[in-house]
Amino acid sequence: MAGLSNPKAILFFSSLLPQFVSTQQDSHIYALLPLILLFVFIKLIVSSTYALAARTMAAKLAIPGSAVWGKHAAGGVLMAFGIVMGFTAFY
């Protein structure tokens, strides 16, 4: 429900969606309603997937010792980025 007061969502629905609706239709709300419902459905799917992934990761990180591998992986990635930046700085 926080998206209802989001200025980006309001601008999206008021400026971007009407260009996909024919001007010959009598009522624009009935033409916009399927597009709005599709947007809400996609938002629900994405948010649900994000929540399920977060719950799964929280359960996996609750296991003792599992966070150590994550820290090692993150450190390795940061070291690799540093090495690549060091090599590309001179070219």
Confidence of residue 30 (pLDDT cuts 50, 70, 90): confident
* Least confident stretch, 28-32, 53-57, 71-75: 28-32
Confidence of residue 27 (pLDDT cuts 50, 70, 90): low
Structure tokens that stand for 51 in this block: 């929540």
Radius of gyration of the chain (CA): 23
CA distances from 47 to 29, 40, 42, 52, 74 (A): 26, 10, 8, 9, 25
What value, to the nearest 5°, has the Cα angle with vertex 53 and ends 49 and 68?
165
Structure tokens that stand for 35 in this block: 């597009």
- What percent of the chain clears pLDDT 90, i.e. is strictly above it? 33
Give the global pTM: 0.56
